Amino acid sequence: MEIIHYDDGKKGHFKAMESDVQAGIMTYVWANNDKFIIEHTIGNPEFKGVGKKLLDKAVEFAREKNIKIIPLCPFAKKMFDRHEEIGDVLAK
């Protein structure tokens, strides 16, 4: 599975692709230069665990850029609540 990251400076997404099939997408908008808001996550039910893979990519991106994440998306919020190991990128 390939995860493609797109960002135009105001908003972006992480899109999971398996061959020519979209397995899932996680959208975000920038809150400022050091935070982005995960708005929505959609996973194709044929691809179990794709939401977590998308979130892992978002967390990796945040760590690389030394930025924080605001998880407004219910899925992302739930994952941050459950996984303390990604709390370093959670906006306070």
Q: How is domain 2-86 classified at the CATH fold level?
A: Aminopeptidase (3.40.630)
Q: How far is CA 76 from the centre of its chain?
A: 7
Terminal Cα distance for the chain, rounded: 32
Query: Which pLDDT belongs to residue 73?
Result: 96
Is pLDDT above 90 for 92? no
pTM for the predicted model, two decimal places: 0.94
Hey, what are 53's tokens? 């893979």
Domain extent listing, the chain = 2-86
Q: Give me the amino acid identity at 91.
A: A
Distant-in-sequence, close-in-space partners of 4: CB < 8 Å, separation ≥ 6: 14, 15, 16, 17
pLDDT digits (tens, 9 = 90+) for 35-78: 999 999 999 999 999 999 999 999 999 999 999 999 999 999 99
CB of 31 closer than 8 Å to CB of 65: no
Largest CA distance in the chain: 38
